[in-house]
Amino acid sequence: MRVLRNLEEVGPELVGGAVAIGNFDGVHRGHAQLVHRLLHRAGRVEGPAVVFTFDPHPVQVLRPSEAPPPLTWTERKARLLGELGVDAMIAARTDEQLLHLTPRAFFDRVLCQCLQARAVVEGPNFRFGRQRRGDVSLLDEYCLAAGIELEIVPPLGNGGRAISSSRIRACIQAGEVEAAMRMLTRPYRIRGMVTHGARRGSKLGFPTANLEGVDTLLPAFGVYAGQARMGGSTWPAAIHLGPNPTFAEAGAKFEVHLIGFQGYLYGEPLEVDFWARLRDIRPFDSVEALKSQLRRDVAATQQIAQRLAT
């Protein structure tokens, strides 16, 4: 899986194949269905399967105040697409020049000149070019004239509704990480840097890694079961996201207890998967009551880890 940052990096090994264009935020099951068809088309034309995406999301450049918080960062998006079989992802830097290309100019530059596409695979809601003026009807017209195969992949449903990044985002914002996981190809994951905290968790017998610098969407406040990942190692993790009312702390914290971990984490990057929401944040009458609940949270996390491992 190759990751390119601009079209000028495209070499001869990446032209003449099948191309899909979009944001692919979250790389959900709907995206996986589209990639499956992309790979099929790439095989038909005997060329590479290439995804062209944008970094950052175009709305972040055009209307920053309206930009949705992302579900994935570029490197993770590339890993997930690579797992699905994509040969290369072009994460083009989103700038005014790219965004102001007319649909015709965008089609000619990206698909014809740079990628020399022989097949294009998109969803029915695909839009392209300045002010999103191009749609699949116009794309069909351009592809037909250029001799490029075009396949429109219908949306994939879940619970009677189409799977989409916005729907997954709403689930995560509500703390419904299990519902989100059913629509994603992998559990929802965030990343951050481990920083020094109040060390209260260690005093309680449940040391935590305090995360800061998260650059994707955080779930709603609550206690979650999940998995922490650093390097090539993983640990089941009980996750606290929000204030600590038992100690009259109103500020939100992101604390991760790595079950079974012993070592030094400060200053290290940590990735965290969310498996399930365990409970709401609430105050406890005593420290002992809090510790008893923390033991139950850890036990519940271990049970979920065992279930997922089987």
Domain shared by 146 and 191, yes or no: no
Above 90 in pLDDT, residue 64? no
With a cut of 90, say whether residue 178 has pLDDT above it: yes
In a domain, 170, yes or no: no
What per-residue confidence (pLDDT) applies to 200?
A: 64
Answer yes or no: is pLDDT of 298 > 90: yes
Count of domains observed in the chain: 2
Q: Which of 139, 158, 177 is the last residue of a domain?
A: 158
What is the DSSP annotation of 263-289? S--TT-EEEEEEEEEEE-----SSHHH
137 and 200 belong to one structural domain: no
Asked if pLDDT for residue 39 goes beyond 70, the answer is: yes
Q: What is the pLDDT of residue 304?
A: 97
Confidence label for 59 from pLDDT (cuts 50, 70 and 90): confident
CA atoms within 13 A on the CB side of 169: 14
CATH code for the domain of 81: 3.40.50.620
- Given a cut of 90, whether residue 290 has pLDDT beyond it is yes
How many of the other CB atoms lie within 10 Å of CB of 246? 17
| For helices 29-45 and 74-84, angle between their N-to-C axes, nearest 10 degrees | 60
At 3-31, the pLDDT tens digits run 999 899 999 999 999 999 999 999 999 99
Alpha-carbon distance 195 to 45, whole Å? 50
Whether residues 149 and 201 share a domain: the answer is: no
Question: Does 251 map to a domain?
Answer: yes
What per-residue confidence (pLDDT) applies to 199? 63
Q: Are residues 61 and 192 in the same domain?
A: no
pLDDT at 56 over 90: no
Query: Residue 243: its pLDDT value, please?
Result: 93
Q: For residue 271, which phi and psi values (nearest 5 degrees)?
A: -110, 140
Tens of pLDDT, residues 194-246: 998 666 666 677 889 999 999 999 999 999 999 999 988 999 999 999 998 88
116 and 67 in a common domain: yes
Residues 6 and 109 in one domain: yes
Single out the residue of 245, 199, 227, 246 nearest to residue 302, CA to CA: 227
Among 62-66, 137-141, 188-192, 305-309, which is the least confidently predicted range? 62-66
pTM for the predicted model, two decimal places: 0.93
Distance of CA 113 to the CA centre of its chain: 30
pLDDT for 198 equals 64
Measured distance CA(3)–CA(1) in Å, rounded? 7
